[in-house]
Amino acid sequence: MAQILIIDDDPTTRLILAKALSSEGYKVEVASNGKIGLDKAQQLNPSLIICDWMMPLMDGLEVCRNVKSISSLANTYFILLTSRDGVEDIVKGLENGADDFLPKPIRKDEFKARVRAGLRLHQANKDLEFQKLRLEADQAQAAEYVRSLLPKTLNGKVNINSYFQPSTQLGGDSFDFYWVDQDHLVIYLLDVSGHGVGAALLSVSVINLLRTKGLQSKNVNEIVDLTDPSQVLKTLNEYFQMSKYNDLYFTIWYGVYNKNTQKLTYSSAGHPPAILISPSILDQPRCLKTSGLPIGIIPEAIYQNASCSVEPQSELYIFSDGVYEMTQKDNKVRTFDDFLELLKALTGDLKLDQIVSHAIAIAKYGDQFEDDFSLLQAVFD
């Protein structure tokens, strides 16, 4: 049975209310002033508190403020007993955290009804809190599963490092990189619209489909060449029309590096440009992007290839928009151009770490990013 705490400096009122509630089967404790009542509230963690407004030492408003400021008591239903019935008084009580009011003199039937209603609301809030915690745990597990699928590093002719930090909500970023044969390195990053389990599952589906190396065009019924970026995007667009995936779509940047020709061929679908920094022109990074709608928008979308030569010791950065579109501590929103200037200013071998440290330092909520933060750095020998 529910635990109820009565706080009132009048012994007669305490006795009458305690007897009425005990007869209903509730567990009842009483306190003769606000300070004692606050101590008992922290000991008992009651479902409901009934507190007189006008008391010495600590009045009902102060008790209420203190109760609501304690995390373990924040959901306790709080009823103020008062002879005040003016609008200003009610507003004042609500602003201090009161959930309900009982006018004096107390009518027993109304009193019991208000208590029953308050306990129902308290239980409903507990149920909602439980569901919220359960959902957060499920999302954390899903985020960890996505993280476990993503590669971290690649060493050799091309060295790749990555950083992935999901937002406070489960998102849809994912990426992959691998040598599809002895000569061709595939590297891509995608970002599904929206958040939640649906977005995460769609991104995982794309990764798994591409990893099978059996991506087959629905139109010509043949295996797609994974070293042809525009054909890969065209085929993904056939598979993942948003009408079949709860209106979810995704952006993607997909590139293939040929180690023999030292050429990078790429295609993008509504994704932020990749940035290539060449040692011969450090102050002039190249933005690598082609035209093309996000995957899933319309079946007839067209995707094109572009290519460029890659000098030895060049650096390639591929990222989601969460890397640069973030609210800063000064409430300004960082832009792509801001991120580009940061890359131009960085020096040394730990640029990826510097980018992440800088983002955490300027972001409004530190490493609790508003959107998934996904970043790849490839360095070409």
User: Which CATH number do you get for residue 104?
Assistant: 3.40.50.2300
State pLDDT tens for residues 166-190: 886 677 899 999 999 999 999 999 9
Of the three residues 98, 133, 168, the one that is the final residue of a domain is 133
Contact yes or no for 325/332 (Cβ under 8 A): no
Residues 35 and 182 in one domain: no
Q: Is 86 part of a structural domain of the chain?
A: yes
Q: Residue 339 — pLDDT band, cuts 50, 70, 90? A: very high
Contact yes or no for 242/248 (Cβ under 8 A): yes
The encoded tokens of residue 102 equal 């009982």
Mean pLDDT, rounded, for 49-71? 92
pLDDT for position 376: 97
Q: Is 141 part of a structural domain of the chain?
A: no
Residues 247 and 366 in one domain: yes
Whether residue 105 has a cis bond before it, omega within 30° of 0: yes
The encoded tokens of residue 84 equal 């005040």
Q: Is 227 part of a structural domain of the chain?
A: yes
Residues 206 and 79 in one domain: no
Does the predicted TM-score (pTM) go above 0.85?
no
d(CA 241, CA 217): 14
Give the list of residues 6+ apart from residue 231 with CB closer than 8 angstroms, or none.
217, 224, 225
Mean pLDDT, rounded, for 259-282? 95
Residues 101 and 166 in one domain: no
Q: Residue 86 — pLDDT band, cuts 50, 70, 90? A: low
Q: Which of 123-132, 261-270, 350-359 has the lowest mean pLDDT?
A: 123-132
Structural domains of the chain, count: 2
Q: Residue 102 — pLDDT band, cuts 50, 70, 90? A: confident
Residues 200 and 292 in one domain: yes
206-235 burial by CB neighbour count: b if 16+ within 10 A, else e?
Answer: bbebbeeeebeeeeeeeebebbbbbbbbbb
Helices and strands, counts by H and E, the chain: 9, 16
State pLDDT tens for residues 134-162: 877 877 787 788 888 999 999 999 999 99
The encoded tokens of residue 377 equal 């750095």
Of the three residues 133, 167, 201, the one that is the final residue of a domain is 133
CA angle, residues 221, 251, 157, in degrees to nearest 5: 80
The SS3 call for residue 124 is: helix
d(CA 169, CA 166): 7
Among 70, 127, 128, residue whose Cα is nearest residue 97: 70
Residues 270 and 236 in one domain: yes
DSSP state string for 37-88:
HHHHHHHH--SEEEEESS-SSS-HHHHHHHHHHSGGGTTSEEEEEES---HH
Residues 178 and 318 in one domain: yes
Q: Is 143 part of a structural domain of the chain?
A: no
User: Considering the chain, what is the average pLDDT of its residues?
Assistant: 91
The sheet carrying 306-309 orders its strands as 173-179, 184-192, 250-258, 263-269, 306-309
Q: Is 144 part of a structural domain of the chain?
A: no
Residues 228 and 101 in one domain: no
Q: Which of 37-46, 89-98, 288-297 has the lowest mean pLDDT?
A: 89-98
Q: Residue 56 — pLDDT band, cuts 50, 70, 90? A: confident
The alpha carbon of residue 343 and the mean position of all alpha carbons in its chain are separated, in whole angstroms, by 26
The encoded tokens of residue 357 equal 């440290």
Residues 129 and 263 in one domain: no
Q: Is 101 part of a structural domain of the chain?
A: yes
The SS3 call for residue 92 is: helix
The encoded tokens of residue 123 equal 């239980």
Q: Is 53 part of a structural domain of the chain?
A: yes
Mean pLDDT, rounded, for 350-364? 93
Residues 89 and 156 in one domain: no
Q: Residue 214 — pLDDT band, cuts 50, 70, 90? A: confident
The encoded tokens of residue 67 equal 């109760």
Of the three residues 81, 98, 133, the one that is the final residue of a domain is 133
Q: Which domain holds residue 286?
A: 150-380
Residues 129 and 254 in one domain: no
Residues 54 and 115 in one domain: yes
